[in-house]
Amino acid sequence: MPAKDDPIVIKKYANRRLYNTGTSTYVTLEDLAEMVKRDEDFVVQDAKSGEDITHSVLTQIIFELENDRNGQNMLPVSFLRQLISFYGDQMQMVVPSFLEQSMLAFSKEQERLREQMSKAFGTPSMDMMGMSAQMKMVEEQTRRNIEMFQNAMRMFSPTAPAASPARESETPSEGGRSDDLRELRDQIAAMQRKIDSMGDG
């Protein structure tokens, strides 16, 4: 028996059916999406090999949601293009960590906004002026979040300023690598400070 705090194991069979071992029932991708929203931890394993395929299944869920005609696209085309451009690039190794930290800061801001919205819209005497103020607050928060992601992705853009010239005491290749790494460390540190300040603001 798995421990109480262990993630729920979802088995995926060759016929693409998903089996929740916690509830002993078959589930769909929509069910898994709801589990994510309820903050229920789970892992998806290939039923035959036992391989962890959680990443590919979560990616499939996002694909289905983005292609739901009754839903709304959440990933802008410009963001998708930038993200694709990083595959195979030397920046690829730092993008996942940065996106994870960005989403943590974003979630912290959104939770605070939800609480403010709930208090405001949950008041019976809420008038149109108050609703307008709340909508402006939402728009401002959205603008800040979009700017955060755009600035972050721009910082990692292939068109970013080139590294400083190599020092005379170093060979061109060694100096270039050294400067690239130094610049990358500086960029990551600056980015982390920006994320921290947004999360605390």
Q: Summarize pLDDT for 15-72 with one digit per residue, the tens.
A: 999 999 999 999 999 999 999 999 999 999 999 999 999 999 999 999 999 888 777 7
Examine the domain organization and report whether 93 and 187 are in the same domain: yes
- Residue 71 forms part of a structural domain: no
* Containing structural domain, residue 16: 8-66
Examine the domain organization and report whether 53 and 83 are in the same domain: no
Examine the domain organization and report whether 141 and 174 are in the same domain: yes
- Residue 72 forms part of a structural domain: no
Domain count, the chain: 2
Q: What is the pLDDT of residue 17?
A: 96
- Residue 193 forms part of a structural domain: yes
Higher pLDDT, 192 or 37: 37
Which of left, alpha, beta for 16 (phi over 0: left; psi -120 to 50: alpha)? Answer: left
- Residue 1 forms part of a structural domain: no
Q: Which of 22, 43, 66 is the last residue of a domain?
A: 66
Contacts of 176 (CB under 8 A, 6+ apart): 163, 166
Q: Has this prediction a pTM greater than 0.85?
A: no
**8 A C-beta contact, residue 104 and residue 199:** yes
Higher pLDDT, 141 or 177: 141
Q: For residue range 81-137, what is the model confidence (pLDDT) as tens digits? A: 988 998 988 778 888 888 888 788 777 777 777 777 677 666 554 455 555 565 666
